[in-house]
Amino acid sequence: MTTKLDIFSDPVCPWCYIGKARLEAALEQRPDHPLVIEWHPYMLNPGLPPEGMDRREYLQAKFGAPEAVVKVHLPVVAACEEMGLPLALERMHRMPSTLDAHRLIHWAGLEGRQHAVVSALFRANWAEGRDIGDRATLAAIAGAAGLDAAMIARLLATDADTDEIRTRDADIRERGLRGVPGFVIGRRYVLSGAQPVDTWLDLIDKLAAA
């Protein structure tokens, strides 16, 4: 018997990147787990313009002085080191709008390639420092994940599913989600934040026992 795991996240959220890695580490230890995963949109910065903005300016506007920005990143760096996750902060020059990235994740889900695309988006942003707000970059990511890159490029040039992503993002906020990652297990239980591997192992074992 399977159990649905709905994940609300944003590819530019560092704790979503870390939380995904921790979940996957648990799943690797429980290859017979019952979880069926679906990814859902949550935009950390829904008001960003389509071209995004300079990352340094964004961070200073949000957190203040450079030393405050460094302080915010310290636990992220430590958690990535603990999980062996690559982190290319020095290559990240833009804070992208993720509206198009979430459209791509939606389309990938329709084609059964959602996990591959989500993984590629996190890797492109955090491990490679690429601008995942750039539509050519997104089309290339789609192609590498097994989608039709030319078709994705054509879709990205339109407003296809833009309203749906914004509506779904607004809906989950209205239902009380204030930050990501957010996990809904079996449409009944909710976990918030980058949960430790042991938490996931315990949950998987309880689901299996039930």
| pLDDT digit string, tens, across residues 6-53 | 999 999 999 999 999 999 999 999 999 999 999 999 999 999 999 999
Helices (H) and strands (E) in the chain, counts: 9, 6
Task: Using DSSP, state whether 54 is helix, strand or coil.
Answer: strand
The β-bridge partners of 36 are 4
CA dist list (Å): 52 to 42, 159, 168, 169: 16, 17, 21, 18
Its domain, for residue 107, covers 3-209
Residues 6+ apart with CB under 8 A from 62: none
Residue 25 and residue 197 in contact, taking contact as beta carbons nearer than 8 Å: yes
Q: What is the mean pLDDT of the chain?
A: 97
In this prediction, residue 190 has a pLDDT band, given cuts at 50, 70 and 90, of very high
The string of pLDDT tens digits covering residues 91-138 is: 999 999 999 999 999 999 999 999 999 999 999 999 999 999 999 999
Task: Using DSSP, state whether 39 is helix, strand or coil.
Answer: strand
- Calpha distance 106→88 (Å, rounded): 26
- Calpha distance 123→134 (Å, rounded): 15
The two beta strands, 3-9 and 182-185, are antiparallel
Full-model pTM:
0.97
The string of pLDDT tens digits covering residues 52-103 is: 999 999 999 999 999 999 999 999 999 999 999 999 999 999 999 999 999 9
The predicted pLDDT at position 173 comes to: 95
The predicted pLDDT at position 210 comes to: 86
Residue 2 C-alpha from the chain's centroid: 23
Query: Residue 193, by phi and psi: left (phi above 0), alpha (psi -120 to 50) or beta?
Result: left
User: The domain spanning residue 69 has which CATH number?
Assistant: 3.40.30.10
- Calpha distance 172→40 (Å, rounded): 9
Residue 87 and residue 21 in contact, taking contact as beta carbons nearer than 8 Å: no
Domain count for the chain, please give it.
1
Task: Using DSSP, state whether 134 is helix, strand or coil.
Answer: coil
Q: What are phi and psi of 42, to 5 degrees?
A: -150, 115
Dihedral angle at the C-alpha atoms of 95, 101, 102, 103, nearest 10 degrees? 140
